[in-house]
Amino acid sequence: MALLTAPPIVIVPATSASAPATVEYTSGVDLIIRERMNSSPWRLRSGAPPNNLRHGSYDVFLKPGEKYEAEAYRREPLPSGFPADATGIDLQGKVAIRAILTNASTNFPLTEPFNPEVGGTYWWARVATPPLQTFLIVQIGSTPPVPDGDGFLRIPSAKFNLEFDEAAVHAIEIQPLIPGNEFHFVVTILDVGSVTSTGRWEQKRGSFTTKLRTTFILFKELVVTDDSDPGAIGSGIAGPGRFAFQIREMGEGQSRVDRDFQFTIQSFTDKAPQNVIDLSPYGLAHVVSAKPLTPQTEHLGIALRGVEEDTGVFFDTDDIAETLFGTARKLELPTGRFKENFTGRTQKIYALPRSSGDEFSFHVNIEYAAFYS
């Protein structure tokens, strides 16, 4: 693939002026470049790539409101109809540059109120500017925005820095976010990309706190897949078995036990359907209470361990099964506007023989729910 680079935004000092932008390209194959301005028909760039078919640069000049696009393709072979129709051709890279006016902040007449919606794991908003086709830049981060040298508000080290192509109505969802945390946003609206665009812009800023998550977890069933009885699967009764289940908070480089269950099952078998054990008599349910989370605690995990005791059995020893390498398996917690709140979700967590000398194995069916408030 080729690498095309260019500044995404250029600042023009006056409505009658233009500003330069440099497009650079580098590739391991010979290139041909097509370009267009303000969604006009594509055309081959005259003399480009100049001098060198694989490495080089060139300048373009943009007036306020203009949008320049360039796409690089492998030079050979080219189908008939290029550059008008590039479908299915070996695209190597592309760039887009938009030109705006300095000191041209405005208030666009929105056709809908700008009222962002906040969940536990998402931020959502609509920006409607008909008939204008506007370009959006959305930043979300944990620190407040600060003005740069051009007078634009920017969030240092933003967690999200996203661009949305020209449209009259934008529906924006940013996720995943961490529950119970304060964030800041800057939405930059740009009038660029059409022959009538002015290069004016508007910025909307604000702060918000994501909702807290409450999670309900029920260990519903234990299913024995190998009871480690010396006979064939389904041929005998094993036990007793000692079990330890843990619910852990997990994240970046950390795993902390939130709840620990320990219990004993006196006898069991891997013969169906008797191998399915109802866990409700053991009270294996837990509520992970609502609280602010961090990158170290934002996930939940389940760790399982079971020991099938063979004390006194000639030529046999205890068999141990556990989640892989003794670590916790992460619970799948959906994120997003229509997904984060749920009930009745299920997940299988497997405990496998700890070593080649162990035969015991089982899995646990978990039912869980999450609610954000």
213 neighbors 226 (Cβ within 8 angstroms): no
* Sign for the pseudo-dihedral over CA of 172, 176, 178, 179: positive
Domains of the chain: 3-101 (2.60.40), 117-209 (2.60.40), 213-372 (2.60.40)
Judging by DSSP bridges, how do beta strands 91-101 and 67-74 pair with one another?
antiparallel
Dihedral angle at the C-alpha atoms of 36, 40, 44, 48, nearest 10 degrees? -20
**What contacts 24+ positions apart, CB below 8 Å, involve 324-327?**
324/350, 324/352, 326/354, 327/255, 327/301, 327/303
Q: Residue with structure tokens 């009658």?
A: 16
245 neighbors 222 (Cβ within 8 angstroms): no
74: Cα separation from own chain's centroid: 32
DSSP 316-347: ---EEEESGGGPPEEP----STTTSSEEEEEE
pLDDT in tens, the chain (373 residues): 668 999 999 999 888 899 999 999 998 888 888 999 998 999 888 765 554 678 889 999 999 999 999 998 887 777 777 777 777 678 889 999 999 998 877 889 889 999 999 999 999 999 999 999 999 999 999 999 999 888 889 999 999 999 999 999 999 999 999 999 999 999 999 999 988 999 999 999 999 999 999 999 999 999 999 988 765 555 567 778 999 999 999 999 888 999 999 999 999 999 889 999 999 999 999 999 999 999 999 999 999 999 998 755 545 578 899 998 778 999 999 999 999 999 999 999 999 998 877 789 999 999 999 999 9
Instruction: HSE, CB side, 13 Å, CA atoms: give it for residue 236.
Output: 9
What are the start-end ranges of the H helices in the chain? none
DSSP structure class, residue 40: P
Instruction: HSE, CB side, 13 Å, CA atoms: give it for residue 6.
Output: 29
What pLDDT, on a 0 to 100 scale, did the predictor assign at position 45? 84
CA distances from 82 to 41, 87, 131, 280, 282 (A): 11, 9, 32, 67, 70
> What is the spatial distance between Cα 25 and Cα 354, in angstroms, rounded to a whole number?
53
